[in-house]
Amino acid sequence: MQQNVKTYAGVFAAPVCPMNDDQSIDEPGLERYLRWILSRSDIRGLVVNVNAGEGTFLENEDRNRVIADARRVVPRNVKLVAGVCGNSTRDMIKQTQMAEASGADAVIVIPVREWQNSRGPGQAETLYNRLGSATSLPLIVFNSVSAQFDTDTLIRILDVPTIVAVKQAVTDIGLYQDQFRAIRRARPDVSILSANDAALLPTLAIGADGVLLGIAGFLPDLVIGLFNAARDGDYEAARKFADELAPMSHYLYGVPPRSLRHVRTKAALKRLGIIASEMVREPLLPLDDAERRKLEQAMRSAGLLESTSILASAA
* Cβ atoms of 99 and 55 closer than 8 Å: no
Alpha-carbon distance of 70 to 48, in angstroms, equals 8
Residue 182's pLDDT is what?
98
DSSP annotation of 306: T
Alpha-carbon distance of 238 to 233, in angstroms, equals 9
Q: Where are the domains of the chain?
A: 10-234
122: left (phi over 0), alpha (psi -120 to 50) or beta: left
Q: Rounded to whole angstroms, what are the CA distances from 59 to 25, 63, 299?
A: 11, 6, 32
Note if the bond before 283 is cis, omega within 30 degrees.
yes
Within 5-118, residue ranges assigned H as helices are 27-38, 60-73, 89-102, 113-118
Within the chain, residue ranges assigned H as helices are 27-38, 60-73, 89-102, 113-118, 123-134, 151-157, 173-186, 200-206, 220-231, 235-249, 261-271, 289-301, 309-314
Residues 6+ apart with CB under 8 A from 106: 8, 79, 80, 81, 82, 137, 138, 139, 140, 164, 165
Per 3-state DSSP, the chain is made up of helix, strand and coil in percentages (nearest 5) of 50, 15, 35
User: 10-234 sits in which CATH class?
Assistant: alpha beta
Q: Per-residue pLDDT tens, the chain, 315 aa: give them.
A: 544 468 999 999 999 999 999 999 999 999 999 999 999 999 999 999 999 999 999 999 999 999 999 999 999 999 999 999 988 889 999 999 999 999 999 999 987 765 665 677 888 899 999 999 999 999 999 998 877 899 999 999 999 999 999 999 999 999 999 999 999 999 999 999 999 988 899 999 999 999 999 999 999 999 999 999 999 999 999 999 999 999 999 999 999 998 899 999 999 999 999 999 999 999 999 999 999 999 999 999 999 997 544 443 443
pTM of this structure = 0.94
